[in-house]
C-alpha cells in the first residue's frame, strides 16, 4: 500500500515517525529485491540503501508523475547497477544453467521437499545478472518497463527482450516441476 | 522439449508484444501443438508464482533493520523539539546500542600511501589520513600507488594497479577485484572471484597475469616494510608459474583456508600456494628455485661480464689499458647523459607529475588555446562535497595558514557550488526531456552522464569544440542559455569553477587562494574529454 501524501511530506521534512513508516513500507520489498538479486550481506546492504533513500527523499517530488514506489525502486535499481560495477558477480550462463537443471537427478524429490516458491528462487538465482535484475523488478515488484529502461540506459524494447528471455529461461528450468505439479493436480500459487 | 525462442515468443504473446499477424500465427500453432499450449499454461503459473514470492525477512528482523538505519542530520531547531520527546527513547536506544555493538569491530581504515588512490571513485591525496571504510567501499590504486587498510584482525597492503572492495565489515572482508594485495593478521578474510580465504599469518593474493605479479610484488618491497610491520619477500619466478589469468594465494607464514561454493574447503600451509585452476595446494617453489631467484634479475649477466673483462684485462699492455680507460670514461659520460635525459623524460611522463604540475587555480590563456585546438574540455567539479564534515589535510592547513573560520567558510563555498551545480544540471536534464524524479536520484557526475546520453553524438562533439573555444576566449556565445544540453552543462561547470575561485580570492586573497588550490594535499575532481586526437 502506498503511503499517503501527508506522510511522504513529513518524511521528506525529517519527521522521525513518518520516516519509520517509509522505512517499514519499503524495507521488506527492498530486502527481497536485493537478496534475490544476489547481493552479499543483504541486511547491511538494505540498511545502507535505506539510509541513502532517506537522505535523498527530500529531492522526491510528490507532485511528479512517478509514484513513490517507482522512485524508490529506481534508486534501488541504480544502487544495484552501481554494486554490480563494483563487484564481480559469479554468473552461470544459460547453457550451463539448463544443463544443471536437466541433469538434476532429484528434481522429483525436490518437488516433494520444497515449495514452488523456493524452486523458483533457485531458478531465478541461476539467471544471468541483467535478466535477473529486470525479471525481479518487472515481474516480482511490478515496476514499469519505461522506468527500468531509463535506469539501464537501454530502449524499452531491450528491457522487454530481457524480460521475455528471463521468463523463457525460467520456464525451461522449471518445466519438469511445473509438469509434475500439473500432473498431480496441484493448485497454482495465487497472488495473495 | 521446446526451444528457448519458442518460449520467448509465448512470453511475448502473453504480454501482448506480438503483432496481430504474429499472434494469429502463434494461436494457430497453439491449437496444433499441445506441448506449446501446455507451456503457455506453465508460463501463467510461473508469472503468478513470481508475483506471490514470499517476503525474505521476518517482521522482527525488519523492525531491527529499520531501527539501525542511519537518519539524515536534522537542523537544530527541529532537533530541539525532538529532544524532549525522544529523551527516554534515546536512553533505551543507547543502552541497546551499547549491548548490540559492544562486540563489533571498528570499521576498517584506509591510508593512501602514495600515488593516485581513489575511494569510491573519489581521488584521495597521498599520504592521506586514516579514512573509515563503509561496507561496499571500493579502493582503487592507480599506477605507482599503494594503500594500506587496517582492521582489528588484519592489515592489507593494496599494490599499484589493484582494486579492492570491502564487502563486509563484520568481520572485515576484502574482495580483490584485480591486481595484488599482501595481507597479514590473525584472521584475514579475503575474497576473489568466487573463492573466499581465511588467512592466519601472512600471504599474497593475486588476480592477474604472471609477469604483472612479479612486477607488483617487486614494487611492494620498496614501501618501507619495517614501518608497516611487513617482512616482504621477493616471490620467486617459479612461484608464479600457475598464476596466469587465475586467482592465486601464496601463504608465506601461518596457514589459510580456501572455500569455494562447489568444493570442500582447502587448507593451505606456509610455503604453499593455491590457484583457482587446481584443486589442491602446491609448494611455492623448490629451495633451489628460491635461492636462484633471490639474486637480482640483472645481476647474473653483470657477473658474467665482470668475470670475462677480468680475464681480458690480464692480457692487455699499459698503453692498451690507458686507451681502454679513456674509451670507457667517454662511454660512461655518454651513458650518464642519456640516463639523465631518460630520467627527466620519465618524470615528465609520470601521471603523478602531470597532476602535480596542472594549475587548478586559473589556467593560462595559452593552455586554454592549446586545449581549444583539440576540443579538449576539462571540468573540475567541487571536490569537497561532503558538506560540513570535510577535514582538511594538516599540512595544507599549516602551509596556507588556514584559520578554523576560514576552513568553515571554504566548506560552505564548496557546498553552495555543489548545490548550484546539482540544481543547474537537474534543470538542464529536465529541459532536454529527463524525468524529474530520475534526476533526483542522480549525483553531479550521474547527471552529466545522463545529459550526455540524451544528447546526439554529433552535438556532444560540437559542444566540446565550441565550449573549449569559448573558454579560451576565441569565441563568444550569442546566448549562453542556448545550445545542446552538454554545451550548457560545460558552461555551467566553468561558471561554477570561476565562482568558487572568486569566492576563495575574496576569502583568502589571490595568493593564498592559489596556494590553497594548488597545494599537493588538495583533492581535485577532473572530468576531461577531447574531440580531436
pLDDT digits (tens, 9 = 90+) for B380-437: 777 654 445 567 778 888 889 999 899 889 888 888 888 898 899 999 988 888 877 7
Tell if the CB–CB gap between A47 and B175 is shorter than 8 Å: no
Chain-chain contact of B177 with A88 (C-beta, under 8 angstroms): yes
Give the span between the Cα atoms of B482 and B491, in whole angstroms.
Answer: 11
- C-alpha cell, B129: 589520513
List, as own/partner pairs, every contact residues B160-166 make where C-beta atoms lie below 8 angstroms and the sequence separation is at least 24, other chains included.
B160/B115, B160/B216, B160/B219, B161/B212, B161/B216, B162/B216, B163/B138, B163/B139, B164/B138, B164/B139, B165/A86, B165/A87, B165/B136, B165/B137, B165/B138, B165/B139, B166/B108, B166/B133, B166/B134, B166/B135, B166/B136, B166/B137, B166/B138, B166/B139
Contact state of A87 with B177 under an 8 Å Cβ cutoff? yes
Is residue A122 less than 8 Å (CB to CB) from chain B?
A: no
Which residues of B are less than 8 Å from A142 in CB distance? 51
Q: Which residue of B has its CA nearest to A117?
A: B53
Say if the Cβ atoms of B46 and A167 lie within 8 Å.
Answer: yes
Whole-number mean pLDDT of chain B? 74
Residue B232 clears pLDDT 60, i.e. is over it? no
**For residue range A100-147, what is the model confidence (pLDDT) as tens digits?**
333 333 344 444 445 677 788 888 988 888 899 999 999 999 899 998
Crossing angle (nearest 10°) for helices B34-51 and B4-15: 60
For residues A141 and B379, the model is more confident at A141
Q: Which residues of A touch B135 (CB under 8 A)?
A: 41, 44-45, 48
Provide the pLDDT for residue B314: 65
Mean pLDDT of B337-364: 66
Is A101 in the B-facing interface, judged by CB distances under 8 Å?
no
**Burial category of A119 from C-beta neighbours within 10 Å (exposed 0-12, middle 13-18, buried 19 and up):** buried
> What CA dihedral angle connects A73, A77, A78 and A83, to 10 degrees?
130
Distance CA B228, CA A189 (A): 59
Which contiguous run of DSSP H or E holds residue B157?
Answer: strand B155-158
Q: How many Cα atoms within 13 Å fall on the side-chain side of residue A76?
A: 29
CA gap B420, B424 in Å, rounded: 6
Interface size, chain A vs chain B, as Cβ–Cβ contacts under 8 Å: 201
> What is the distance between the alpha carbons of residues A9 and A161, in angstroms, rounded to a whole number?
37
Which residues of chain B lie closer than 8 angstroms to A169, CB-CB?
4
Question: B51–A151: do the CB atoms touch at under 8 Å?
Answer: no
Identify which of B112, B135, B107, B109 has the alpha carbon closest to the alpha carbon of residue B122.
Answer: B112
Which of B1, B70, B441 has the CB atom closest to A78's CB atom? B441
Quickly state the pLDDT bin for B508 (edges 50, 70, 90): very high
Gap between the Cα atoms of B494 and B467, Å rounded: 10
Question: Is the CB of residue A121 less than 8 Å away from at least one CB of chain B?
Answer: yes
| pLDDT tens digits for range B177-230 | 877 888 888 889 998 877 889 998 888 888 754 333 333 333 333 333 333 333
What confidence score (pLDDT) does residue A136 get?
94
User: What residues of B are in contact with residue A24 (Cβ under 8 Å)?
Assistant: 62-63, 66
The candidate with the shortest Cα–Cα distance to A136, out of A125, A151, A152, is A125
Distance CA B410, CA B388 (A): 10
B57, B440, B446 ranked by CB distance to A61: nearest: B440
Determine phi and psi for B142, rounding to 5 degrees: -85, -165
In angstroms, the first-to-last Cα distance of chain B is 54
Pick from A33-37, B68-72, B308-312, B326-330 the range whose average pLDDT is largest: A33-37
- Cβ distance A188 to B175 less than 8 Å, yes or no, reads no
Q: Quick one: average pLDDT of B469-479?
A: 84
| Partner B contacted by A114 (CB < 8 A) | no
The answer to whether residue A187 scores a pLDDT higher than 90 is no
Q: Which position has the higher pLDDT, A179 or B367?
A: B367
Q: CB neighbours of B193 closer than 8 A, spacing ≥ 6?
A: A88, A90, B207, B247, B276
Confirm or reject contact between A103 and chain B (CB < 8 A).
no
The per-residue pLDDT for B312 is 56
Residue B445's contacts (CB-CB under 8 Å, 6 or more residues apart) are B121, B381, B527
**B361 falls in which pLDDT band (50, 70, 90)?**
confident
Q: Return the pLDDT at B272.
A: 83
pLDDT tens for residues B291-316? 333 333 333 444 444 444 454 566 67
- A52 pLDDT higher than 80: yes
Q: Can you give B48-61 as a three-state secondary structure string?
A: HHHHCCCCCCCHHH
Cα separation, B443 vs B425, whole angstroms: 10
More confident residue, A38 or B95: A38
Rounded Cα gap, residues B392 and B411, in angstroms: 10
Amino acid at each position: 500500500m502506498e503511503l499517503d501524501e501527508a506522510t511522504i511530506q513529513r518524511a521528506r521534512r525529517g519527521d522521525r515517525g513518518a520516516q519509520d513508516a517509509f522505512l517499514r513500507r519499503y524495507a521488506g520489498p527492498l530486502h527481497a529485491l536485493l537478496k534475490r538479486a544476489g547481493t552479499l550481506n543483504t541486511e547491511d546492504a538494505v540498511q545502507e540503501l535505506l539510509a541513502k533513500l532517506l537522505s535523498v527523499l527530500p529531492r522526491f517530488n510528490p507532485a511528479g508523475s512517478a509514484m513513490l514506489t517507482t522512485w524508490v525502486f529506481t534508486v534501488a535499481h541504480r544502487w544495484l547497477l552501481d554494486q554490480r560495477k563494483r563487484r564481480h558477480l559469479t554468473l552461470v550462463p544459460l547453457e550451463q544453467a539448463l544443463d544443471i537443471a536437466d541433469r538434476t537427478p532429484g528434481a522429483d524429490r525436490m518437488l516433494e521437499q520444497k515449495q514452488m516458491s523456493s524452486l523458483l528462487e533457485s531458478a531465478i538465482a541461476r539467471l544471468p545478472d541483467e535478466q535477473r535484475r529486470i525479471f525481479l523488478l518487472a515481474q516480482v515488484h511490478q515496476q514499469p518497463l519505461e522506468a527500468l529502461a531509463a535506469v539501464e540506459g537501454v530502449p524499452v524494447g531491450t528491457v522487454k527482450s530481457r524480460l521475455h528471455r528471463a521468463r523463457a529461461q525460467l520456464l525451461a528450468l522449471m518445466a519438469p516441476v511445473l509438469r509434475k505439479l500439473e500432473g498431480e493436480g496441484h493448485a497454482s500459487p495465487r497472488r495473495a | 522439449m521446446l526451444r528457448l525462442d519458442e518460449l520467448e515468443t509465448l512470453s511475448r504473446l502473453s504480454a501482448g508484444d506480438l503483432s496481430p499477424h504474429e499472434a494469429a500465427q502463434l494461436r494457430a500453432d497453439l491449437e496444433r501443438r499441445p506441448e506449446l499450449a501446455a507451456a503457455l499454461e506453465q508460463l501463467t503459473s510461473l508469472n503468478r508464482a513470481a508475483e506471490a514470492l514470499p517476503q525474505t525477512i521476518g517482521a522482527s528482523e525488519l523492525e531491527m533493520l529499520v531501527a539501525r538505519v542511519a537518519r539524515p542530520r536534522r537542523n537544530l531547531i527541529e532537533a530541539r523539539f525532538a529532544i524532549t520527546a525522544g529523551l527516554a527513547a534515546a536512553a533505551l536506544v543507547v543502552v541497546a546500542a551499547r549491548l548490540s555493538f559492544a562486540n563489533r569491530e571498528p570499521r576498517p581504515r584506509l591510508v593512501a600511501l602514495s600515488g593516485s588512490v581513489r575511494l569510491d571513485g573519489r581521488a584521495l591525496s597521498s599520504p592521506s589520513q586514516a579514512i573509515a571504510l563503509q561496507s561496499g567501499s571500493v579502493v582503487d590504486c592507480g599506477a605507482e600507488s599503494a594503500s594500506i587498510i587496517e582492521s582489528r584482525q588484519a592489515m592489507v597492503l593494496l599494490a599499484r594497479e589493484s582494486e579492492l572492495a570491502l564487502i563486509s565489515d563484520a568481520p572485515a572482508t576484502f574482495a580483490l577485484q584485480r591486481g595484488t594485495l599482501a595481507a597479514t593478521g590473525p584472521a584475514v578474510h579475503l575474497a576473489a572471484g568466487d573463492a573466499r580465504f581465511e588467512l592466519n599469518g601472512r600471504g599474497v593474493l593475486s588476480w592477474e597475469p604472471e609477469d604483472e605479479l612479479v612486477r607488483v610484488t617487486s614494487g611492494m618491497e620498496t614501501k618501507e616494510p619495517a614501518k608497516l610491520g611487513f617482512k616482504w619477500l621477493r616471490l620467486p619466478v617459479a612461484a608464479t608459474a600457475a598464476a596466469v589469468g587465475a586467482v592465486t594465494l601464496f601463504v608465506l607464514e601461518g596457514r589459510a583456508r580456501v572455500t569455494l561454493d562447489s568444493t570442500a574447503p582447502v587448507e593451505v600451509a606456509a610455503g604453499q600456494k593455491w590457484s583457482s585452476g587446481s584443486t589442491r595446494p602446491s609448494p611455492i617453489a623448490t629451495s633451489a628455485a628460491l635461492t636462484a631467484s633471490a639474486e637480482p634479475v640483472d645481476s647474473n649477466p653483470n657477473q658474467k661480464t665482470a668475470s670475462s673483462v677480468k680475464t681480458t684485462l690480464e692480457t692487455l699492455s699499459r698503453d692498451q689499458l690507458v686507451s681502454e680507460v679513456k674509451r670507457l670514461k667517454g662511454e660512461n659520460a655518454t651513458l650518464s647523459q642519456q640516463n639523465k635525459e631518460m630520467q627527466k623524460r620519465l618524470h615528465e611522463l609520470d601521471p603523478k607529475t602531470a597532476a602535480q604540475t596542472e594549475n587548478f587555480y586559473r589556467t593560462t590563456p595559452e593552455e586554454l588555446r592549446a586545449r581549444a585546438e583539440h576540443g579538449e574540455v576539462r571540468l573540475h567539479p567541487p571536490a569537497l562535497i561532503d558538506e560540513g564534515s570535510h577535514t582538511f589535510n594538516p599540512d595544507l592547513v599549516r602551509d596556507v595558514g588556514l584559520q578554523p573560520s576560514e576552513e568553515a567558510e571554504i566548506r560552505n563555498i564548496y557546498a553552495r557550488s555543489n548545490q548550484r551545480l546539482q540544481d543547474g544540471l537537474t534543470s538542464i536534464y529536465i529541459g532536454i526531456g529527463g524525468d524529474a524524479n530520475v534526476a533526483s536520484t542522480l549525483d553531479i557526475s550521474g547527471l552529466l552522464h545522463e545529459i550526455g546520453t540524451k544528447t546526439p553524438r554529433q552535438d556532444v562533439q560540437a559542444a566540446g569544440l565550441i565550449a573549449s573555444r569559448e573558454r579560451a576566449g576565441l569565441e563568444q556565445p550569442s546566448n549562453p542559455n542556448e545550445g545542446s544540453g552538454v554545451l550548457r552543462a560545460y558552461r555551467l561547470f566553468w561558471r561554477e569553477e570561476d565562482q568558487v575561485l572568486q569566492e576563495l580570492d575574496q576569502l583568502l586573497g589571490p595568493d593564498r587562494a592559489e596556494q590553497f588550490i594548488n597545494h599537493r594535499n588538495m583533492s581535485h575532481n577532473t572530468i576531461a574529454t577531447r574531440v580531436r586526437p
